[in-house]
Amino acid sequence: MNRIAPGFIRANPQLTRAGELKHLLTIEGLPRVLIERIIEIATQFAVQLPLGEARSGEARSGEASQGPEQSSAYAPIAPLLQGKSVFNLFFENSTRTRTTFELAARRLGAGVTNLDIQASSTSKGESLLDTIRNLSAMHADIFVVRHAQSGAAHLIAQHCAPHLHVVNAGDGRHAHPTQGLLDMATIRHYKGGFRGLTVAIVGDVLHSRVARSDIHALTTLGAPEIRVVGPRTLLPDGIEQMGVRVCHAIDEGLRGADVIIMLRLQNERMNGTLLPSSREYFARYGLTPERLAVAAPDAIVMHPGPINRGVEIASEVADGPQSVILHQVTFGVAVRMAVLGMVAGVLR
């Protein structure tokens, strides 16, 4: 692996002194060599996963379509985390992230504890850090944390015992690093790399931690044209400073795009009315077959999920031949295996 500058390591709380991954909190500032390494390890794991829905996809490289099949989603592939405890702490709802972290941990032979937040003592007023101190006392090794507050995972990483590792599974609007990484693994799989790619990120960028993580990853990996597409009310002021081009007209944003990443309207994070109605939003920004036709003929369509059919994407597109939405989910298991193994120091 290429060396990472010592000054950079000191400034990055995610890295050990040797420049390895101690926590995964954000893609911002993560060295390119580490991002590439995570994708590389994940791609190796993807070959061994049962691919379910993803098997029907037309994989360009074919890598994810060839591996031996396992009979159970829990069967350990590589018992690298045997004897370790992964605690899934989801203070916000999740289907994909929580489940794929659990599958990833079990695939590596770890024990998994899913904290039921609704039934936990958080509802009796216990602070986040007190909850973490108590769970640490139960000999946790890795905390996977989703929280509505931006910065929650950083806070835990700052205050937890030195042997613990924290993986951010989405914090407020701030970051969703494993989603960003699985999106990059998916793009690399279908497009072979990032050189020459035009990527359009469409929709509610303002409230999207996925958009921020994708933009950091794409710029670090050298994607030359990243467009953010949406109404003024859903694009943050100054987003151009992240190295993206702003488009308010969807046809302009999609023209010639190789990759289209659709975003969900994050109604739970909106203060007040930012849109007239979801029907009008679909009329102006929904991805329909006609709009998809202005993108590159071999464009892939992505969405982090959950999708809202008829709001941000038409069913014909979500279920159509260019959609890789369910394949992203499968890559999620492989990427999370790579991340868990790397923060625990058993994969390099």
List residues near ligand CP by CB under 6 A: 94-97, 170, 179, 304-306
Burial class (CB in 10 A: 0-12, 13-18, 19+), 348: exposed
User: CA dist 209 to 153, 159, 175, 292, Å?
Assistant: 13, 23, 4, 24
CB of 276 to ligand CP, least distance (A): 26
Tokens at 67, concatenated: 């591996």
Smallest distance from ligand CP to CB 61, Å: 24
Distance in Å, CB of 210 to ligand CP, minimum:
7
Instruction: Select 144 or 229, whichever has its Cβ closest to ligand CP.
Output: 144
Mention every residue, 6+ apart, whose C-beta is less than 8 A from residue 277: none
If the CB atoms of residues 218 and 262 are measured against ligand CP, the closer one turns out to be 262
CB of 4 or CB of 148, closer to ligand CP = 148
The neighbour count for residue 44, using CB atoms within 10 Å, is 16
Shortest gap between Cβ of 180 and ligand CP (angstroms)?
A: 11
Listed in sequence order, the residues at least 6 apart from 308 whose beta carbon sits closer than 8 Å to its beta carbon are 264, 265, 278
Residue whose CB is less far from ligand CP, 80 or 287: 287
Min dist CB 133 to ligand CP, Å, is: 26
- Does residue 338 contact residue 38 with C-beta atoms inside 8 Å? yes
Measured from the CB of residue 216, what is the shortest distance to ligand CP in angstroms?
16
Residue with smaller CB distance to ligand CP, 247 or 337: 337
Beta strands in 28-95 (DSSP E): 85-90
User: In terms of CB distance, is 9 or 263 closer to ligand CP?
Assistant: 263
Beta bridge partners of 302: 261
CB of 88 closer than 8 Å to CB of 142: no
Sign of the alpha-carbon dihedral angle for 200, 307, 103, 47: negative
* CB of 290 vs ligand CP, minimal distance in Å: 27
Q: Where are the alpha helices (DSSP H) in 128-202?
A: 128-136, 152-159, 177-191
User: How far lies 81's CA from each of 141, 161, 281, 326, 338, in Å?
Assistant: 10, 19, 45, 27, 11
If the CB atoms of residues 179 and 322 are measured against ligand CP, the closer one turns out to be: 179
